[in-house]
Amino acid sequence: MSILLQKATREARERISAARLLPWGVISILVHVNGGCSDNLPRTIEVQGKVTYNGAPLENGTVSFVPLTSGGDSTLRPASGSIQPDGSYRMKTFGEKDGVLPGNYAIAIASFNSFGLPEKPGDKLDYAVPERYVRPETSGLTIEIPPDADDTLRRDFELTDTGRTDAGASGSAPRAVP
């Protein structure tokens, strides 16, 4: 009798395990068939460029595009791009390197000489660029991503200690990459 009880218990456990996995299997199939719903995402424009500080490429950090909602457009989303060791970056909004939604953005660029938290509370972070560039409201950098852009847009940023940037980096439309 105990053999029958053990067999029934084992079969019950197997059914319970299969029942627990069933919803995850269905979700997995739906995501695979539906492609993760990426077809429903709005069109983005590829934006890339290079960031330099006092003429030398930044070796790390992040470029952030923060929506300017002066027109009441709440559909814009922030975008970001990691700065590579050669100073290059490529923006993403929804997924890896997908681009930026058309619209107007303020820009923040953060780069650090060292990583981690300061040793004592109240100590400042060790920025590799002047702190004004780290905040979109003080950087003085903006960009307009046109909705009709057909090609990759290139936007280089030449940061300096004086706060002046080249004419192509502050307020003008980006150039298409050749």
First to last CA, the chain: 80
Phi, psi angles (nearest 5°) of residue 4: -65, -40
CA nearest neighbour of 136 among 158, 106, 160: 106
pLDDT number for residue 162: 80
Angle at 124 (CA atoms; ends 122, 125), nearest 5 degrees: 135
pLDDT number for residue 172: 39
Domain boundaries, the chain: 2-40, 47-176
106-133: per-residue pLDDT in tens? 999 999 887 766 677 877 788 899 999 9
Mean pLDDT (the chain) is 77
Distance CA 99, CA 46 (A): 4
Domain at 47-176, CATH from 2.60.40.1120, 2.60.40.10, 3.30.230.10, 3.30.70.3270: 2.60.40.1120
Task: List, as own/partner pairs, every contact residues 97-100 make where C-beta atoms lie below 8 angstroms and the sequence separation is at least 24, other chains included.
Answer: 97/46, 98/41, 98/44, 98/46, 99/44, 99/45, 99/46, 99/47, 100/44, 100/45, 100/46, 100/47, 100/65, 100/145
124-163: per-residue pLDDT in tens? 788 899 999 999 999 999 999 998 988 899 999 999 988 6
Residue 85, pLDDT > 60, answer yes
